[in-house]
Amino acid sequence: MELSTFKIIVTGGAQGMGAHFAKRLVEAGAQVAVGDVKEDGLATLAASVTGPGKLHTRKLNVADESEVVDFVQWAHEAMGGLNGLINNAGILRDGLLVKKDRETGAITKMSRDQWNAVIDVNLTGATMIAREVIAKMMETNTRPGVIVNMSSIARYGNRGQSNYSAAKAALAANTLTWAREFGTYGIRVGAIAPGMIETPMTQGMNPKARDALVEKVPAGRVGVPEDIWQGVRFVLECDYFTGRTIDIDGGLSM
C-alpha cells in the first residue's frame, strides 16, 4: 500500500515514537487520527506537523473501552474512512515481582495496581482498539487494511518488567492470531518490537537500568524513533508481510 492512501489511527501519538510516526505519515500524504491522554502534547503535535496529508487529534485513553469505541467511530467519520492502525500506546510501571532488601530483609511485592495499569493499556487497550478498527473495516468492506502492533524485545523476558513483558509477548502472539483470523478480509497484521529507543518513556527509566541496557547494545547506541519508523513503514507498504514480529533493537539481547 502507498502511504498516501492511508486513513490511519495512531495511538499514544502525542510524543515519542507515536508523534514521529504521525509526522512521517502526514508528510507522505496520509490522513492520520492521533489519540493520546496528553491533550497538550496533541496540541504541540498539531502545531508542528507539515505536509500534504491531514492530521486529526482527539483525547483518548485506550484503557477506557467506551472511549476506544467512540474514538474509532470519530476517526472513521473525520477521515472519511479507515484502513489502518498503529497500535502504539504504552506505559511502564517497572519493578521486581518480589524484592528482598539486602540490609533489612524486608519483602516488597509488585502491586496489583502496577500490574493492572500496564496490562490495561499495553494489552487490553491495544486489543480493544484493534477489535474496533478491524470491525469497522469489516463492516465497511474496506480492503486492504493494515494493523501494526508495537511490541518490544522485552517480550522475551526482562528483569523488573513482569507486567510489561507479559503484555508485549501477548501482543506479539496476537499479531499472528489476528493475521490468521482476518486475512480473508484483506487485513494484514504485523508487529514491530523496538529495543532501547530514545523516547520520553525510556528517559523515565531507572538510570542504572537504562545505562546497563545501553552497554549491551552491539550497535553501540540508543535507537531513535526514525529507526523504528523504517520498520513500521515496511509493514505498512509490503503487501506480502503479515503475522510476524520484527525486532529493531541494535542487536540487543535482554
**Predicted confidence (pLDDT) per residue in 126-152, tens digit:** 999 999 999 999 999 999 999 999 999
The yes-or-no answer on residue 185 being catalytic is no
120 assigned to some structural domain:
yes
pLDDT at 216: 84
204 assigned to some structural domain:
yes
190 assigned to some structural domain:
yes
Stretches where the chain sits below pLDDT 50 are: none
pLDDT at 254: 65
CATH code of the domain in which 128 resides: 3.40.50.720
CA separation for the pair 19, 16 (Å, rounded):
6
pLDDT at 252: 85
74 assigned to some structural domain:
yes
254 assigned to some structural domain:
no
CA separation for the pair 33, 22 (Å, rounded):
8
**Active-site residue, from 156, 164, 185, 240:** 164
132 assigned to some structural domain:
yes
CA–CA distances in Å: residue 147 to residues 6, 114, 133, 174: 12, 27, 9, 11
253 assigned to some structural domain:
no
Counting the structural domains of the chain, the total is 1
**Predicted confidence (pLDDT) per residue in 73-99, tens digit:** 999 999 999 999 999 999 999 999 999
50 assigned to some structural domain:
yes
pLDDT at 174: 98
pLDDT at 212: 79
Residue span of the structural domain in which 139 resides = 3-248
